[in-house]
Amino acid sequence: MKLRNLLLCGLLLAPWIAGSSPAEDKVLKMSTTTSTQASGLLDILLPALEKDTGITVKVIAKGTGAAIRDGIDGNVDAIFVHDRKREDAFVADGYGTRRYAVMHNDFIIVGPAEDKARIKAVNDGATAMRKIAEAKASFISRGDDSGTHAREQALWKDSGLALETAISTMEKKGKTTEIKSVFPAGSKNWYFSVGQGMGKTLTIADEKQAYTLADRGTYIKYKYGREVPVNLEILSEGGANLANPYGFIPVNPKKHPHVKADLAEQMAQWLVSAKGQQMIADYKLHGKQLFFPDAK
């Protein structure tokens, strides 16, 4: 009787097990920068991707540095980030199969309308940052090893200012990460590193009426897409050193055999397809385009 009951249970469970396996197999884990999520872009792209391919994406949004470390450790199947230097190194070191150029927007320096540092219409990011330092105007840094944080440090290095280097730690979900930062020397009274994503950094800058470096997509979302918008203005934009390209990279199965390389490649091809690129181009907030397609 017990054997018969066990066999009966097995027969009843078999269709459920068989039916659940394909769905589970089509779940892809992706680490991405907070800007792709905070801007609302993924809310548009991912449902369309699932409809066309059956792929469900589990999004892990964090700074670009942390997202790349997820790929290096094999914790995800793909990364979607914006730090070209580290992206190229990720592929060159064998952790990624290939970088797919998906889209770009740009970095902007935002701040209060009174513009104490007088950077309005200064389109060179390094020059604008130097003027902020010379004015000792309050500046909020993400300080989170993100792509935006990396670009901020590059601008400080190009500014010609004397710089300091500091090592800080960030703890998340029981994991401690060391973050190396460079910033203007003697800036403790006006330079504040908050260790937060782009949205929270914009909110803090707004509260303190301070300057910060932001990606345009998240700024537009927080300026025009919220009931209580941030009261910050775009003051410096347009220079070559403020360009902000995004790349999608499948994690290399030669490094981590368990990753779902086929799903990651399928997602990459969808993102750079005519449909994926058009959806990126069409995504607007209050009539403003947030991202521009890059696939050839």
pLDDT score of 24: 65
CATH number at residue 268: 3.40.190.10
Angle in degrees, 0-180, between the axes of helices 125-135 and 147-158, rounded to the nearest 10: 80
- HEC string for 107-163: EEEEECCCCCCCCCCCCCHHHHHHHHHHHCCCEEECCCCCHHHHHHHHHHHHCCCCE
Q: State pLDDT tens for residues 238-271.
A: 999 999 999 999 999 999 999 999 999 999 999 9
Residues 239 and 254 in one domain: no
With a pLDDT cut of 70, the percent of the chain lying above it is 89
Considering 201, 228, 243, which residue would you say is the last residue of a domain?
Answer: 243
Is the CB of residue 133 less than 8 Å from the CB of residue 265? no
Check residue 252 and report its DSSP letter.
P
pLDDT of 39 strictly over 70: yes
Please give the DSSP secondary-structure letter assigned to residue 294: -
**Alpha-carbon gap, residue 73 to 270, rounded angstroms:** 25
Q: pTM (2 decimals)?
A: 0.80
Total residue count of the chain as it appears in this document: 296
Residue 10 has pLDDT above 70, yes or no: no
In one-letter notation, the amino acid at residue 166 is A
- 10-14, 52-56, 90-94, 105-109: the lowest-pLDDT one: 10-14
pLDDT digits (tens, 9 = 90+) for 199-228: 999 999 999 999 999 999 889 989 988 889
Q: Does the pLDDT at position 22 exceed 80?
A: no
Write the single-letter amino acid at 140: I
Q: Phi then psi for 210, rounded to 5 degrees?
A: -115, 170
* Claim to verify: residue 134 and residue 211 sit in the same structural domain: yes
Q: What is the largest CA-CA distance in the chain?
A: 86
Last residue within a domain, chosen from 208, 225, 243: 243
At 23 the pLDDT is 60
Residue ranges with strand state E in 185-283: 191-193, 211-215, 233-236, 243-250
* Cα 156 to Cα 25, 41, 153, 258, 282, distances in angstroms: 45, 29, 5, 40, 34
Measured CA to CA in angstroms, residue 228 lies from 9, 127, 205, 225, 232 at distances of 56, 31, 14, 9, 12
Give yes or no: residues 175 and 225 share one domain: yes
Question: Based on the domain organization, do 258 and 189 belong to the same domain?
Answer: no
The conformational region for residue 146 under phi > 0 = left, psi -120 to 50 = alpha, else beta, is beta
In a domain, 166, yes or no: yes
Of 151, 12, 166, 17, the C-alpha closest to 84 is 151
Clarify whether residues 182 and 196 are in a common domain: yes
| 215 inside domain | yes
Q: What is the mean pLDDT of residues 181-199?
A: 95
- C-alpha–C-alpha distance, residues 79 and 204, integer Å: 28
- Backbone φ, ψ for residue 220 (5° rounding): -60, -40
Residues 52 and 171 placed together within one structural domain of the fold: no
Q: Could you tell me the residue range of the domain that residue 153 belongs to?
A: 106-243
CA distances from 296 to 176, 264, 277 (A): 39, 19, 10
For residues 226 and 251, state if they share a domain: no
In a domain, 12, yes or no: no
Give a yes or no: residue 281 inside a domain.
yes
Give a yes or no: residue 123 inside a domain.
yes
